[in-house]
Amino acid sequence: MFDFDEALKRVATQTILCVGDVMLDDFVYGDVTRISPEAPTPVLAVRHNAIEIGGAGNVARNIATLGARCVFVGLIGGDDAGRVLLEALAQFDDSIIPDLVVEAARQTTRKVRFVSEHHSAHLMRADWETAAPASAASQAAIIAHAEAALPKVGAVVLSDYAKGVLTEGVVRAVIDAARRFGKPVIIDPKGHDYRVYRGATLLTPNRKELSAAVHRPVVSDAEVAAAAAELAAVAGCDAVLVKRSEDGMTLAVTGEPPVHVPAYPVKVRDVSGAGDTVAAVMAVLLAQGMPFEPAMRAANAAAAVVVGKRGTATVSLAELRHRILPAASTAGEDKIVFDWSLLDERLAAWRRAGLRIGFTNGCFDLLHRGHVRLLAEARAACDRLIVGLNSDASTRRLKGPTRPINPAESRGEVLAALEAVDLVVVFEEDTPLALIGRVRPAVLIKGADYRREDVVGRELVEADGGDVVLVDLVPGHSTTAMVARAKEPAAE
C-alpha cells in the first residue's frame, strides 16, 4: 500500500515541465430572467466575470496550486490576450516559470463562456483562436525551451488542445528527449492517430476521445478496458487512463488487469478543466515514483474537488489530502472549505434563501466541552453557522511552536462532524478579519472572555447592521489547560 500522506508531503519538492496550448478563459456570470424581444434567445444580466489561465496553462496552475513548481512552455500571439496571459502567469511568482514563445501574427486563443448562475448552465461560448500549426521557427524554439528544462524536472506533461503547439515534430522531439533523461511523459491527447505519442508513459483520453481513437463505441467497463489496452499497444505507451466523467476512471497498464474506480459522489458545478487537474496530479505523483493505480486514485479524488467549483478550477494540496484521506462522513467533507470561491457560492445560495448567517472562529486544537457549548449557542443565534479555522501556520504564530497538536485537516473534520456547524473555512492570516469581510455575517459570535470592543470584525458587522453576541464560557475548559495537564507527571 502506497503511503499517500508521505507522497503528498513530497509534492513540494517536485518540478514539472508542461508543454502545450495555452488559452485565456473568460467566464461571464449573470442571471437569466427574460427572453430577448429581438430574437428567441435568453438575455444574460451580467453580474461579474472571471478570467483564468486555461488549456495547458490550467495544468500549470494546478501543478503550482498543489505546491510543486512548473516550467511552462507554450505559444501566444502578440496581442492583448497574450499580454493578459503573461500578467496572469506572473502572479504565480516562481511557482510557474513561463517560457512562452511569441508569434507576432498569431491570435492568442481566447474563450468566453456565458454562464447562468441561477441554473448553473453554460449558455454559449465564443472563441477567438488561430488553430494552425506553429511556424517552423516557433516549433524549434518550443523544442529548445523544453530540452533545456528537462534536466531540472521530474516529469513532463504534454497538454494537447489541437491549437498548433504540439505538432508531430514537437511531440516527437520532447518525448524522445524525455526518454533519454528517464523522465515520465504524461499526455492529455487530441486527434485520432495516437501513434504520434509512441513512447509516452501515460495517455489520459476521455471516453469520447478513446472511442474516436479505436473507431467504435465504448460504454461498458469491459469495452473501455479493451479499447484502452488496444490504444496502449497502438501508441506504444506504458499505460492509458480513461476519464469517464460520472462513471469514474479506468486504468489499463500494459501486462496488468484493468482497474476501474468509481467517481466520487459530488454536486457537479462545472467540468471545465477537470482533465487538466488529472494530468497535473498524475505528473507530480509519477515524478516521485508512485505506481499508476494509487496515482490514478489521487487524480480521481482531485477531479471530484474541481468539478465542484465554478470555472477553470484548481485543487490545493490540502483539498486533495482531505478528499483522499477520508473524513468522518461525506456530509462532513462537504462542510470544509479551503478554496474561498466555494465559500462565495455557498453564501450566495444562503442569501438567496433569506437565511441569517453567523460567524465564529478559533483554532479548536483539542475540541472540548466549552467549544461544543459555544458552537451550539452560536448556531442558535443564526440559520447557518460558519466557523473560521486558523490554519496550521496561523495557529503556530498565535499559540507557539508546539501547536497545533492536530493539523487543520483533522481539526476541520472534527468541527464538520458537529450538527451545529454548517461550514468550516480555513484561513491563513493571524486574525479572521479578511474572512469576516468576505462573509459579511449578520451575527458575529465569540466567547464572553472577550470584550465587545476587542472582537475582531465587530466594526464591519455592526456597520452592516449586524449583531455581536458574546457566549458565556464553561469554566475550567481550555485547550491550553488540557495540554498543560497532559504534560504533568502522572500521580502514583
Residue whose entry in the numeric block shows the C-alpha cell 495555452: 22
For residues 296 and 353, membership in a common domain is answered with no
Which sequence positions are flagged as catalytic?
Answer: 276
pLDDT at residue 143, as a whole number:
98
Q: Is residue 269 part of a domain?
A: yes
Q: Is residue 332 part of a domain?
A: no
Going residue by residue through the chain (492 aa), what tens digit of pLDDT does each one get? 456 778 888 999 999 999 999 999 999 989 998 999 999 999 999 998 888 899 999 999 999 999 999 999 999 999 999 999 999 999 998 999 999 999 998 999 999 999 887 766 788 999 999 879 999 999 999 999 999 999 999 999 999 999 999 999 999 999 999 999 999 999 999 887 899 999 999 999 999 999 999 999 999 999 999 999 999 999 999 999 999 998 999 999 999 999 999 888 787 777 878 999 999 999 999 999 999 999 999 999 999 999 888 777 899 888 888 777 654 334 455 788 888 888 988 898 898 888 889 999 999 988 888 888 889 888 888 888 999 999 999 999 998 998 899 998 889 989 998 888 999 999 999 999 999 999 999 999 998 888 888 899 999 999 999 989 898 876 655 655 555 656 566 554
For residues 149 and 235, membership in a common domain is answered with yes
For residues 281 and 371, membership in a common domain is answered with no
Strand ordering across the sheet containing 110-116: 42-55, 22-35, 110-116, 121-128
pLDDT at residue 345, as a whole number:
84
For residues 259 and 360, membership in a common domain is answered with no
For residues 349 and 412, membership in a common domain is answered with yes
pLDDT at residue 273, as a whole number:
82
Strand ordering across the sheet containing 336-337: 336-337, 423-427, 384-390, 357-362, 443-447, 467-471
Report how far residue 360's alpha carbon sits from residue 385's, in angstroms, rounded to the nearest whole number: 8
8 A C-beta contact, residue 378 and residue 385:
yes
pLDDT at residue 167, as a whole number:
96
For residues 341 and 301, membership in a common domain is answered with no
Question: Which of 254, 245, 236 is CA-nearest to residue 205?
Answer: 245
Q: How many CB atoms lie within 10 A of CB 475?
A: 7
For residues 343 and 314, membership in a common domain is answered with no
Residue whose entry in the numeric block shows the C-alpha cell 485565456: 24
For residues 97 and 189, membership in a common domain is answered with yes
Report how far residue 245's alpha carbon sits from residue 262's, in angstroms, rounded to the nearest whole number: 9
For residues 405 and 372, membership in a common domain is answered with yes
Domain final residue, candidates 276, 299, 325: 325
Q: Based on the number of CB atoms within 10 Å of its own CB, is 132 exposed (0-12), middle (13-18) or buried (19 or more)?
A: exposed
Cell triple for 414: 472534527
Q: Is residue 285 part of a domain?
A: yes
Question: Which of 215, 283, 278 is CA-nearest to residue 245?
Answer: 278
For residues 301 and 356, membership in a common domain is answered with no
pLDDT at residue 329, as a whole number:
39
CATH number at residue 362: 3.40.50.620
Q: Is residue 331 part of a domain?
A: no
Instruction: Provide the number of structural domains found in the chain.
Output: 2
Report how far residue 209's alpha carbon sits from residue 244's, in angstroms, rounded to the nearest whole number: 10
8 A C-beta contact, residue 251 and residue 239:
yes
Domain final residue, candidates 325, 345, 372: 325
Q: Is residue 419 part of a domain?
A: yes
Cα atoms in the Cβ-side hemisphere of radius 13 Å centred on 50 = 14
pLDDT at residue 109, as a whole number:
95
Residue 268 domain boundaries: 4-325
Domain final residue, candidates 325, 346, 377: 325
For residues 233 and 102, membership in a common domain is answered with yes
Report how far residue 392's alpha carbon sits from residue 119's, in angstroms, rounded to the nearest whole number: 37
* All residues at 6 or more sequence positions from 135 whose CB lies less than 8 Å from its CB, including other chains: 103
CATH number at residue 166: 3.40.1190.20
Q: Number of helices (H) and strands (E), helices first, in the chain?
A: 18, 19
Alpha helices in 417-492 (DSSP H): 433-439, 458-463, 479-487
pLDDT at residue 392, as a whole number:
93
Report how far residue 119's alpha carbon sits from residue 32's, in angstroms, rounded to the nearest whole number: 9
For residues 318 and 341, membership in a common domain is answered with no
Q: Is residue 70 part of a domain?
A: yes
Indicate whether this model's pTM tops 0.95: no
- The alpha carbon of residue 259 and the mean position of all alpha carbons in its chain are separated, in whole angstroms, by 24
Report how far residue 127's alpha carbon sits from residue 325's, in angstroms, rounded to the nearest whole number: 39
